[in-house]
Every structure is written in C-alpha cells, then in structure tokens.
Amino acid sequence: MGVMRFTVHPEGLLDSERDLSEAYLSGFDGRVFPSRVEFDGQTIEFRRMNSESGKLHVPWNVPGVGRSMVSTATLREHDTAYILSLELARGKICQVRNQLAAWQALGMTIPEAFPAVHREAHRLFAKATATKSDVAASSELASQAVDKACHAADILATSYVEQRLRVRFKRTPQLPVSFGCGLNSPDSIEEFGEAFQQSFNAAAIPIEWKQIEKQEGEYEWDESDKLIEWCHDQKILLRAGPLLDLSENGLPTWLHQWGQDFFNLQSFLCDFVETAISRYAGKVRIWEVSTRVNTGGAFKLTEEERLTLVAKTIEVARTGDEEAQLFIRVEDPWGSYQTGGQHRLSPIQFVDALVRCGVGLSGVNLEIPVGYSSCAGTARDLLDLSRLIDQWSMLELPLHVTLAVAGSSAANSNATGDLTVRSQTADVEWTAEEQNSWIDRYVPLLMAKQAVIGIYWSHLTDQAPHFFPNAGLIDAQGAQRAGLQSFMKHRTGKTYEL
C-alpha cells in the first residue's frame, strides 16, 4: 500500500471535514487514485493501493477569489512528509509557467502586470524552500507564494480571454456559439419569455424519463409539449433531454423490478428513447440522450454495463432521427468522484471508449456546478477551467458546457437533489452579486474556446423544481438576478472592443 503525507501549518489551515472530503490525488494522466484520507490536525495521509507519483488537489482560500481548488506538482512518495503549502506553491507556479510558454508559442502578448507578480511568486517560493527546516516560516512564505501564483494565473488567463475574443470577434461578428438556459417551467415563459429571448438564443427543455413516465405506460408530455411549441414558435434553438439519468435515483421507480435483468432493462431504456425522439422528430435538432453516464449509480450498473447501455441508446436515437445531433452529459469532468474506488475509467476515458465504438456521438456536454457540497462543486480558477476545456477538446468533439452557480445560500424547497450550497469562505456567502461576478469572469473564457459551441445555464427559475439549489437566474420570489442581463451582454459581444 502506498502512503503520501503532507504537513499542514498552521493548525486550522484546512477544515478537516469540509476541505479533506474534497481533496484527492491524481496521476500524470489525470486519473484519480482511490484513496483513504487520515488527518490528525497536523499531517494528512493519503493511503492507496499503489505507489505511483501523483498530484494532490485540495481546496484553498485564495484572497480576492475565495475557496478554490489548488494542485501540487507531480510528487513521488517520500519517507518524510511534504510541506503542504510549499508543494501547492510549487504546483501553481509550474502550472502558470507551463501555460505561459504554451500561450507565448501561440503568439499571445503577455500583459504588463504579469511579470512582476510572477517573479514575486518565484521569490517567495525560493525563500520558503530555503527555510524548509523551519516548518512555520516556510509555510508562511509558501502560503504567500500560492496567493501570488494564483494572482499571476488570473492576470494571465484574463488577458488570454481578452486577446482571444478580440481575434474571434474580428473574424466573425457573431460567434458560432449558442447561449442557452434550461426552461424548467411553462409558467415562467409567460412572465419572463421576453427577457429569456433577449439573453438567450437556445433553450434546454427537460425531458426526463423519471418525470415523463412516473407510472409504467402512462406518459405526461404536457409540459414538454408547451415548452417545445413555444421555442419552435419563437425560433429558439432546442436541446431536449437528458432522456435518461443513470444516477442512483435518476430512473423511474417502477423500473426497479427490472434492475437486475440487464437485457430487459436495456430494452426499456431503448423503448423510451425511441418514443421520445419519434414524438418530437423535426422539432428538436439536438438531443441529450443521457446524463451522469460516467458516475452512474443506477442499479449498481458496472462501467461496462453503462457503456453498453449508452452506446445502444445512442444507436437507437440515431435510427429514430438520422439528422439529429446526439450529446451525452458528463458529470464532474474533473474526475474527482473516482477517489471512492468504484470507477476505473476517468471521465474522458469513458467518452473516448464510446467514440471508439463508432456509435455516432455528436458531442459532449460538460456539467460544471460551483458552490455545492461535492468535489465537483468546488470552485476552480480561470486557468484550471481553460486547461480542462483544452483537455476535452482533444476528443475533437463539439462541446456544450452547462453551468450552475448558487445565487443564494438560503434553503429552497424546490430543489430536488441532495446538494447543499457551500459558502465560498467562512465570511463570504453565495449571493446574486457573487453569482453574477462568476458569470462575468467565466463565460467569456468559454466563448474564447473554439471547441465550445454551446454555453448553457442549468435552469431559469428557482420557483419551479430544479436540481442545483438557488442557481436560477430568477430567484424563488420571482425576482430577476443580475446574471440574466449579463448573459445578454456576453451573447451580443458588446463588451469586447475590436
């Protein structure tokens, strides 16, 4: 068994329950190692079945940003414990330096503010390394180096976005990117339909088996019919689905009697996909066939069984509408869920296996929530998100990105999942202003990426049932949040001077 140790100083730097529940180790290829975490207040131990080198990813309070995931460089196992803050500084500085070289090679102009901050991060890191024998002094200097390196990463990534968008808008005044939002209630379009059309040119219509066929053989299409008809009349680009949710409670309850009969289960799934696509043939051009395919949970299906089901349902969907674009949604594209040990394939490996099957997958939808009680809900900085999109771009498939950021920390009875909102820091809660600030920082990055052809918000209103608590652009009292107007601003591109 392999063990990797990190000394934490000062005590209380990490929340043992909150931060360590989201920390994980990954390999050089991005695969996450199943591991058990032990923490005595001073030393974190990660115990694994192997002794490969790896990176530690752990939440860190970054000044001006809040709680964000920060990573070490690739480390080998060592008899003595690493100093956590020192290795996080090393990892962030290396990440920034590598990305700097890559973007310079592509012709990026380095912003004037960057070199001084980058040099200061190096200076602090060098002093921290020179004082390793004094853990307290080294940790203090290294923590400052992490902050400076994160600041340098932000300056670099922000400048990249600005320069890249100027180039894209110079080539074409209208980016080939759809801006969409989930319409989770027919009632909302009566009051907010005009605001929706000003901010978005696409809509995600929820057509979920669990909601459509609550009783076997009894279908409830009314809400879907109304939403699709409205979008069709307004000439709004439609994406419908996900038809199948392979999470633990994502399939109809009446199906549980067939949960251990794989072939009958496959037949039921294929029948529903065929029924839904046949009903809306010619009206829906983009189908999200399934979601949470990589994480799973339904009926304890193995990865091989999930791959088989997803491949088969995509084939059925392709037969039902040969011209439709068929997407699948990937939960937690970072792969942090693998730390539990129930998965062998990383998210990108799972999708790559589908691509190699030749089933006709048109694209991938990456689900990125921020501010929630899971590893996937931990915030990442601009540079991390940029690198994630670049990694998924290697599949050479069009990407949709579905975003969800909490606009409030208040309880919401319309939230259907088991997620809770987590504050950014002990003193900073998620608010409509924080949500809007996040949109203004991260949506332009996605616009700058050529592989991203669709940017979608999870749902429009918190007044109707929704999965991500308080992420709506309309709050539970029916008031518009500022993020709705921000999407209109980014969609039109008026903020980007050529």
Same structural domain for residues 330 and 386?
yes
* 303-354 pLDDT per residue, tens: 999 999 999 999 999 999 999 999 999 999 999 888 887 888 999 999 999 9
Residues 188-219: pLDDT tens digits?
A: 888 899 999 999 999 999 999 999 999 999 99
Q: Residue 17's pLDDT is what?
A: 62
Neighbours of 408 (CB within 10 A): 21
pLDDT reported for residue 220: 95
Cα gap 389→386, rounded to integer Å: 5
Cβ atoms of 310 and 326 closer than 8 Å: no
Same structural domain, 320 and 394: yes
Give the range with max mean pLDDT: 53-57, 95-99, 340-344, 429-433. Answer: 95-99
Q: Would you tell me how many other CB atoms lie within 10 Å of the CB of residue 232?
A: 14
Beta pairing class for 66-71 and 178-182: unpaired
**Encoded amino acid at 339, one letter:** T
Domains contained in the chain, number: 2
- CA distances 111 to 99, 108, 148, 166, 168, Å, are 14, 9, 16, 15, 19
Q: How confident is the model at residue 425 (pLDDT cuts 50, 70, 90)?
A: low
What integer pLDDT is reported at residue 39 of this predicted model?
Answer: 86
* Order of all β-strands in the sheet with 55-62: 24-26, 55-62, 66-71
> Domain for residue 379, yes or no?
yes
Domain boundary among 141, 167, 193: 167
Note the pLDDT of residue 344: 87
What span, in angstroms and rounded, lies between the C-alpha atoms of 172 and 103? Answer: 22
Tell me, yes or no, whether 29 lies in a domain: yes
Rg (CA), the chain: 23
Which DSSP helix (H) or strand (E) runs through 96?
A: helix 84-105
Confirm whether 357 is domain-assigned: yes
Single-letter code of the amino acid located at 40: D
C-alpha triplet 78, 93, 6: angle, nearest 5°: 30
Same domain, 390 and 451: yes
205 and 143 belong to one structural domain: no
Tokens 């051009």 identify what position? 285
Is 258 inside any structural domain?
A: yes
Same domain, 258 and 401: yes
Give the span between the Cα atoms of 396 and 491, in whole angstroms: 24
Model confidence pLDDT, tens digit, residues 99-152: 999 999 999 999 999 999 999 999 999 999 999 999 999 999 999 999 999 999
Which pLDDT value is given to residue 375? Answer: 60
Q: What is the pLDDT of residue 141?
A: 97
The per-residue pLDDT for range 455-486, each reduced to its tens digit, is 999 999 999 999 999 999 999 999 999 999 99
Residue 496: pLDDT above 70? no
Average pLDDT, the chain: 91
pLDDT of residue 406: 92
Q: Which of 138, 167, 196 is the last residue of a domain?
A: 167
Residue 313: inside a domain: yes
Give pLDDT, residue 498.
46
Domain CATH number, residue 185: 3.20.20.80
The answer as to whether 35 is a domain residue is yes
- Find the domain containing 61 and state its range: 2-167
At residue 79 the predicted structure's pLDDT band, cuts being 50, 70 and 90, is confident
As given in the structure block, the two tokens for residue 61 are: 């309070």
Are 483 and 432 a contacting pair, CB within 8 Å? yes
The answer to whether residues 182 and 154 belong to one domain is: no
Residues 163 and 216 in one domain: no
**pLDDT at residue number 307:** 96
Note whether 86 and 203 are same-domain residues.
Answer: no
User: Do residues 301 and 334 both lie within one domain?
Assistant: yes
Q: Classify residue 211: in a domain, yes or no.
A: yes
More confident residue, 10 or 224: 224
Q: Are 445 and 382 in contact (CB under 8 A)?
A: yes
Among 39-48, 112-121, 159-168, the least confident range: 39-48
Residue 498 lies in a domain: no
At residue 12, does pLDDT exceed 80?
A: no
Sign of the dihedral through C-alpha 475, 479, 481, 484:
positive
Of 101, 133, 167, the residue at which a domain comes to its end is 167
Question: pLDDT at position 423, please?
Answer: 73
pLDDT at 15: 67
Question: What contacts 355, CB < 8 A, 6 or more positions away?
Answer: 361, 395, 397
Q: Are residues 137 and 189 in the same domain?
A: no
- 163 with 180, same domain? no
Q: DSSP letter at 206?
A: -
Query: What pLDDT is recorded for position 427?
Result: 58
Output the pLDDT for position 41: 78
Backbone angles phi and psi of 381, in degrees to 5: -85, 175
Could you give the angle at the alpha carbon of 319 between the alpha carbons of 318 and 325, nearest 5°? 20
Question: Strand 43-48 vs strand 36-39: parallel, antiparallel, or unpaired?
Answer: antiparallel
Residue 402 has a pLDDT of 98
Q: What's the CA gap between 392 and 398, in Å, rounded?
A: 9
Report the pLDDT averaged over residues 38-59. 88
Q: Which of 42-51, 103-112, 132-141, 377-386 has the lowest mean pLDDT?
A: 42-51
Note the pLDDT of residue 188.
86
CA atoms of 491 and 155, how far apart (whole Å):
23
Reported as a pLDDT band with limits 50, 70 and 90, residue 36 is confident
Instruction: Say if residue 151 is in the same domain as residue 193.
Output: no
